[in-house]
Each structure stands twice: as structure tokens, then as C-alpha cells.
Structure 1
Amino acid sequence: MGYAEKRGTYWRARYKLPDGRYGTVTDESGAGIRFRTKRAAEQAANDAEARVREANQRPSLGGPMLFGTYVDTWFARLDLAPSTMQNYRRHLEDHLLPAFGERNLADITDADIAVWEQRERAVGYAASSIRTWRGTLHLVLADAQEDGWIAANPAARRANRGKRAGRSRDRGPEKAITAALGVLLIAERAALMSGRDDEFVQVVWTGFSGSRWGEVIGLETQFVRPAAVRIEWQLYELDSGELVKCPPKDDSYRTLAVPGWLLSMLREHITRKAPKPCACHGFTYVFDGHRPPNTSARRVGPKLADVARLAGVSIGTASDFLHHPGRVAAGTQERITAAIAELGYTRAVEPATTAAHHRRSGFATWVFQPAATGRFPAKAPRPARPVPILSDPWPGVPVRGRGGMDRATACWLPIAPDLTPHGLRHSYKTMMVEMGIPAVLMDTQLGHMDGSIQGRYSHVTAEMTARLLEGLTARWQEALEARRRMHPRSPVRVLDRLLRGSGQDRLPEFSQEGQ
């Protein structure tokens, strides 16, 4: 848009040239015209800029090119990451083609797009989703303009034009976060939900590294270095269920500064698990799924740990009864037999193998959400319900099998309502803000890019990194001490050893290992 520039006793008209620079309105001899008023200069500048746009505008091919027909060719020539292609396909098929597929490109107007937005909003879609879909529409129409099918892009508009209010009316709810103690408590419950230590390590790693979900399940053992962790890949889950190995979001390759205690926890986890290369990608990953894959028979009903708990014996004793009954005393055999009959426990013919990788929905729904909120989500025909637990040992162990609610003695209270796995990433950023960590280091840890002048002239130093590691370690130690004051023991082995001290390797009777 042209503008008037004050030059002493007169005004001159300035307008934008095709190369981005600004020119001055001149007369036939090339001399700048001196305008007596600001209004006259602005009008001349706007007229000159309009002539520039008209001269550089590509002519429209016109013709009956349907939006749907053009989208077919447009999509076919894209060469993007599978995740991006999937998102574009979803936007087009679910929202754009139903509205504009049979419309001629040249007939689509900004008013049509505004009506479409209002209709999507009336259905109940979030404003952020509608903006994303409009962004895809803008991209398609911008390419159609480049190809000469339309003279202008009707999806382009200045921010907030035609809105009743500013950005605040479309602002979503505040993202739920938690503190270091919340991360620890949720991690403990997640391990109890899955019946193994792995989920404790995974949740703690996510909460104290700020890694994205795809980076967590895509973390390979080869990138767990002696003094840091390298983020090189992620696993992205497509709608088909396939997990695609691809670069991290926005190519955010980075080396994470990790506290020594967290790095030790990660390495001990790898040593204990001794993971093997997965069949789907051929690489060795730090974390795997906690359930059998969807294609295999699931182990349903009560588990051996439930039998052991009801009989008042260790899991090893219950296992000995099944495999080596001669090692078990007669009275103990009677208690285990009664527990098996009461629970309806049946032995699996073959031990179930866990899936190579977690699925986002399965982990969030059946492990993380119950741990964070204390409730199972609604799943037809069953409504949302509390997680039934046996209150001893503290903080309570989930009750499995038929009649679980009848056998439960308590249920969990919420730790962080509405928290999601991605909320741990927000929590990590918030912890760094509280510690006063410089923005450049926060961006480096999270894989963000600051394109401002401040970002270009700011650099990470050893002192910054040391302050971050000291702060994270202090918060972890405070969380451990707070958890120790609640109860000095834990049914999660890795946490129990932390609470008692690293030299304590003996497992308590209520260990969940092997469930």
C-alpha cells in the first residue's frame, strides 16, 4: 500500500516496486512530483502501486477448471513427508472438497470462503482447526493463481478482517501442565497401569526432556550418548496405523542436555530391557509397547500378579506353584489355588509379546489418562469410571479382572486433570521459564527456531547448560523427597530403589515386575 512522505514543505508519493523496494511518483521528465497535501500524495502512491500490480499480474486462463479437478493434479505433484501428505489429504477430503469440489476455481470468492468458515464453526470445529484448513485452501488457490487459473487468491486476507473481535475470541483453553512432583507421581501410576517399570522411565524422560511424542517412541539406543541424547528421528503414526520413520518436526535435529540422573535412568533401563531391533524398521528403540500388537491374541483377564496379591505371596512363589509345585508349601498351595479359583485365572499357552512401539491413542487413553486423572475414559457402552485400586501398597495398585470394582478398596484422586502427554512438553518449558533459563537454550532443547534478530545474535553457553542441569536436578530431588514424605516405599521397582537409595537392589514383595 502506497504512502505519503513529508519532505519539508511538500509531500512525495511512495509506492512498492515489484522487487520489494519503494519508488517515488515522478513526472514525465523523471523528477519527483511535489504534492501540496498528504491526501494527494497518498492517492498518487496508491494509483502507482495499483498500476504495478496490474502490470505484473498473470492473466487468468479461465475456463471450466473445477476445484476438485485441479486438486487432483495439485496433490499428485507434491513431494512432501508422509505425515504432511496425510494431513493435506485429510483437510481436502473431509472439509474442502465437500464445499468447493464442484465449484469453478474462478467462481470461488472470499464471501464463499467466509460462509464456509461460519458453517464449519457452527458444526463445532475448533477455530484453530478451521484456520489450518483455510491455510491449506490458501495454498491450493495460491498455486492455482501461479498456474494462471485465477487472477487473485480469494483465501488471502489481512488478519482479523471481517471479524467481530480480535484473536481472544478464538483462543483455545489454557494447556494443562504439571510440576516436577506431578511428573513423578504420574510416572509411578503409569508404571502401575502397565505393570512394568518401562512407563515410569518413559514418562519421566518426557517430562524432563520436553521431547515430542514421536521423538520419544522413535528414540534409538544408539543415540543415547555418554553425556547427552541426540534427537535424529521420530516415528509418525499414519491413519493406516503404519509408523513411519522420518526426521523430527521441522528438521529439529538437536543434542539434548540431560541431567546425569536422568541419563543413568535411561541407560539402566536399556541394560535391563536389552531391546532387540524391531521387525518393522530394523532399528533398536529405547521404549516399546506395553501390550501385545493388535494382530496377536491379547492376554485378557486377571494376571499372575493379581493371584499372588490375593493369596498374599510373591509373584515368584505363585510362578513356582504353576511350574514347580514341589517347591511350595502345602498351606501356600491351598491359598494360591483358592485365589486362582476366585479370580478365574487361566494360564496363557504362550507368553504374549509386546508391540514394538506404543500407539499414541492407546498409551494416552489406557495408561496416561488414568494415571493423571484417576479415571478411565468413557468407551461405549461403559461410561467414564474411577480406576479401582487396592490401597495397600501405597499409592495403590490397580485391580484387574472381573469384579474389580467390588474387590477394590479405594480409587485414585486426580493429579493433573486434563493433562495430556504433550502437556508434559509444556510443563518442561514452564519449568525452564521458572528457572530463568535464557530463551536461546529453551529453543534449543525444545527444537524450536527463533528467526528474530535476538535469536540470531544469541548463543548457548556452557554456563547456561550447567544452570539448566542443576535446576532440573534440584527439582527432581525435591520431587523425590516430597514423594518419600508421602510414603517411603513404592510398588514400582525403579522408584522404590530411588526412594531407598541406589544401593538397595532387593525387590519388595509387592513388585509389579512380570505382570
Structure 2
Amino acid sequence: MAAKRRQFGRVRKLPSGRYQARYVGPDGLLRPAPETFRTKKDADDWLADKQTEMRRGDWHDPDAGKVLFGSYATAWIKERELTTTTRQLYGSLLRQHLEPDFGAVNVAEISPPLVRRWRADKLAAGTGATTVAKAYALLRAIMGTAVADQMIRRNPCTIKGASVVHTPERPTATVQEVYDLADAIQPRYRALVLMAGFLGLRWGELIGLHRRDIDLDQGAVRVRRAVAELFNGQREIKAPKSAAGKRTVSIPAAIVPDIRDHLKRYAEPGADGLVFVGAKGATPRRNHFNGLWRKACEDAGIKGLHFHDLRHTGNTLAASTGASTRELMARMGHSTARAALIYQHASAERDRLIAEAVSGLVDKGLKKSRAKKKQDRKPKGHAGDTQG
């Protein structure tokens, strides 16, 4: 009886005694298996798997992933809609941490063991855990696009939690500490410290404020832009880092006089005038301000507090008023997929109540501190005064 003719693919025995399997792919090209097989049955089984993939529409071009990771990753960054700072960060991570190990490797050849070994070597070499996590997250995102492009079947970045940046909990300044720092800093930055501490605005948002953004009659600040300092020292005026960042924040009444005084003494004139400028009339730079901040912390006797920690202070105070998660996200400009849908619904009136409650906490904190200082100044009697 004649042998049954194969309907899919071909198998032939090589002079070595091993078997080679080939098939015609959906693209019309003859595709050999990437390896030979010990038995004819093994070759038949491989062909059966390929036929099943084609029937399911799950077939991938085995040559599609034969692209160097370095060129693919460079194009990946170039094609993305990114802020200038994020584009610079990704470029730095690619050049310093990914290209040296993966740049000359084909995308299809990057395997889970290779990724695990790269990560372990990075950490063992002393690269910071935060930097490694960011580099891993970038690698995973790029390889995820390669999956979507049908260059590879699965993402080789499979390390659970490897892209999570673990940062220690930052300290929270008390109301009195915020005022102590405001008193210790150069006077032209007093209002900046108070607004960071009690409104929770970011550095770039504060530096980007114009006079027209502050309405003291309504007690509100409109955040519409931010100043970003790039790696090369240049600065970029841009929208806030997320859609949620563009918002109106109510001002606690307790600091309105300080802001009013600042606008009168230090801000540029005109509606478009900058609210915060340096002593020479230029937009403040973070590095220069950090020096002033460290000196203010030293003079106030406060250790380990970063300027950005004041934002955490404002958030903590607002949360202590009983504000809901939605209201806090709206006030602080939090950006998550969930918050993007709900922050718009926070009530402006409720935000005003939050500001009033924060103002009450500020007044209470100051009164308590003043009472303590007054008590400490009282002269204490001597033991001999009570003897007859």
C-alpha cells in the first residue's frame, strides 16, 4: 500500500542521521525548523505544532525578531510621545544600562535567563536599586511592544516586582516646622515654602506660576504649567506632568497675608509676571535653591527634610481633615488611571472646606507652639525660695 502523502510540511533525513523539518509559512516562504531532530516523530510533532499555530492565527515570523535591540530600542524612544525630561531619562537608561548588554543582541534572542542575569549583575556591581528598577521597566516596555509587533511571542521580562521602585517613607514636617523653615529661608522664598507645605504644590508648579494664576479674593491658585529642568541645564515650560495636574487649588486663609505680601514685594509686575524670581530677576534654579534650603534646615534645626517633602506635608494635612480619596487626588494633582477618571468630579466647594480646615490646623499648631514657647520663657523658682 502506498505511503500516505504528508499534507503539511516536509521531513527529510540528513546524512548525519538527524531529521530536518520544513514548511511553507503564511508569507509563502519556505521555513526550516531552527534545529534538527533526533527522530522522524520529533520532526512530525514540530510540524504539527506549526500547523496548529497557523490555523489559530498565532503564527509568528521567526525572522521578525532578528533585529538588534539597540536599534529597535532607539526607534522605540523616538516614536513615543514623551516629555523632554522623560525622553532624556529613557535615553540615559538605554545608553548606560541596556545597550552595553543587549544592544548587539537580536530582540528574539533576549530570554528570561539573560534578563535575570543582567539584573543580578547590575545589582551586584553596585548600581542603585532604583536605577535598576527603572532600567528594567524600560526594557519590559520595549519588549512588550516587540510582542505587540509580533516580533516575539512572549515578553522575556518576567521578574515579579522588578520594576517597582522602593523608596523609604519620607518625613512629614509639622506646621511649626514649615513656619520655622519659612522664617529661616531668604524672605523672597517664604511664600514658596508656605505654599509648598500647605497647598502641596510641586517645585516646578510653583516656579511656573504667574500673577494671573493667583486669585487672593477667591483664595485659589490655578496650576496650568510647570518648569522642568533638563539634564543639560536647559529649562522647559510645559503643562503639568499629567492631566490631573492641571487644577485649581484653594488657599488656606492662614497664609493669604504671606502670599499677598510676597506679590507686593517680590513678584514681577503685570498679570504675566512670574510669582517667584531670584534676587537677580531670573527664574530660580533648583540647585541654587537647594543650597538655600539646606542652610534654612540647618538654621531651623531640622534634619533630613527635602523640599519635596513639604508636598507630603500638605497632603497629610488635607487628609487629616477627613477629605475623601477623590478630593485629595483632585487637590494634589495625583495621576493614576483611576484618578484620571474621577478627579474632575471633586467639588470646588468641598475643596474650599478642605482649605479652611487646613487653615484651622495651621492656626491651632501655631497657637500650641506659641503657648509652649511662652511657658518655657517663664522664670522657674529656686528650691531655697520655699524654705522658711
Aligned twin of 2:286: 360
Aligned twin of 1:424: 310
Task: Map Cα deviations across residues 401-454 of structure 1 (whole Å, 9 max, x no partner).
Answer: xxxxxxxxxxx4632x2111111111111112222222111111100146559x
Whole-Å separation in 2 of the counterparts to 1:483 and 1:427? 18
CA contact (8 A) 2:267 2:277 kept: no
C-alpha change, 1:288 and 1:185, in structure 2 (3 Å) is: same
Aligned twin of 1:473: 359
Number of aligned positions between the proteins: 320
Matched, 1:179 2:174: yes
Q: 2:179 corresponds to which letter in structure 1?
A: L
What's the CA shift for 1:51?
6.4
Whole-Å separation in 2 of the counterparts to 1:209 and 1:459? 19
**What TM-score do the two structures reach when normalised by structure 2?**
0.73
Aligned twin of 1:239: 231
What's the CA shift for 1:176?
1.5
CA contact (8 A) 1:220 1:283 kept: yes
* Secondary structure of residue in 2 paired with 1:444: helix
Whole-Å separation in 1 of the counterparts to 2:354 and 2:76? 46
Aligned twin of 2:6: none
Whole-Å separation in 2 of the counterparts to 1:62 and 1:205? 54
Whole-Å separation in 2 of the counterparts to 1:81 and 1:208? 28
Whole-Å separation in 1 of the counterparts to 2:229 and 2:337? 29
CA contact (8 A) 1:60 1:151 kept: no
What's the CA shift for 1:73?
2.7
Between the two proteins, what is the percent identity of the paired residues? Answer: 27
Aligned twin of 2:23: none
Q: 1:438 corresponds to which letter in structure 2?
A: S
Q: 1:202 corresponds to which letter in structure 2?
A: L
What's the CA shift for 1:467?
3.3
Aligned twin of 2:240: 248
CA contact (8 A) 2:116 2:159 kept: no
What's the CA shift for 1:94?
1.7
**Structure 2 unmatched ranges of 5 or more:** 1-48, 375-388
* Secondary structure of residue in 2 paired with 1:211: coil
Matched, 1:414 2:301: yes
Matched, 1:203 2:207: no
C-alpha change, 1:105 and 1:54, in structure 2 (3 Å) is: farther
C-alpha change, 1:64 and 1:202, in structure 2 (3 Å) is: same
C-alpha change, 1:147 and 1:288, in structure 2 (3 Å) is: same
For the aligned residue pairs, the C-alpha RMSD in angstroms reads 3.2
**What TM-score do the two structures reach when normalised by structure 1?**
0.56
Whole-Å separation in 2 of the counterparts to 1:264 and 1:201? 10
Aligned twin of 1:346: none
Match of 1:440 among 326, 347, 357: 326
Whole-Å separation in 1 of the counterparts to 2:81 and 2:343? 34
More helix by percentage: 2
Q: 1:69 corresponds to which letter in structure 2?
A: S
Task: Map Cα deviations across residues 263-288 of structure 1 (whole Å, 9 max, x no partner).
Answer: 342233112225158xxxx9521111
Whole-Å separation in 2 of the counterparts to 1:198 and 1:116? 49
Runs of 4+ in 1 over 4 A off after TM superposition: 50-54, 449-453, 455-459, 482-488
Whole-Å separation in 2 of the counterparts to 1:441 and 1:63? 47
Task: Map Cα deviations across residues 290-317 of structure 1 (whole Å, 9 max, x no partner).
Answer: 4xxxxxxxxxxxxxxxxxxxxxxxxxxx
What's the CA shift for 1:52?
10
Matched, 1:218 2:208: yes
Aligned twin of 2:38: none
Whole-Å separation in 2 of the counterparts to 1:205 and 1:180? 12
**Structure 1 unmatched ranges of 5 or more:** 1-46, 192-196, 291-352, 375-411, 489-515
Task: Map Cα deviations across residues 354-403 of structure 1 (whole Å, 9 max, x no partner).
Answer: 4x222222212x1112322x1xxxxxxxxxxxxxxxxxxxxxxxxxxxxx
CA contact (8 A) 2:249 2:351 kept: no
Aligned twin of 1:285: 274
Task: Map Cα deviations across residues 339-364 of structure 1 (whole Å, 9 max, x no partner).
Answer: xxxxxxxxxxxxxx24x222222212
CA contact (8 A) 2:266 2:277 kept: no
Task: Map Cα deviations across residues 182-241 of structure 1 (whole Å, 9 max, x no partner).
Answer: 1111111112xxxxx111111011101101111011111111123111000000000111
* Secondary structure of residue in 2 paired with 1:235: strand
Aligned twin of 1:265: 258
CA contact (8 A) 2:254 2:359 kept: yes
Query: Which deviates more, 116-125 or 182-191?
Result: 116-125
* Secondary structure of residue in 2 paired with 1:249: coil
* Secondary structure of residue in 1 paired with 2:242: helix
* Secondary structure of residue in 1 paired with 2:96: helix
Whole-Å separation in 1 of the counterparts to 2:267 and 2:295? 28
Aligned twin of 1:497: none
Whole-Å separation in 2 of the counterparts to 1:231 and 1:467? 19
* Secondary structure of residue in 1 paired with 2:57: helix
Aligned twin of 2:295: 370
C-alpha change, 1:63 and 1:154, in structure 2 (3 Å) is: closer
Whole-Å separation in 1 of the counterparts to 2:78 and 2:98? 17
Aligned twin of 1:151: 153
Aligned twin of 1:323: none
Q: 1:357 corresponds to which letter in structure 2?
A: T
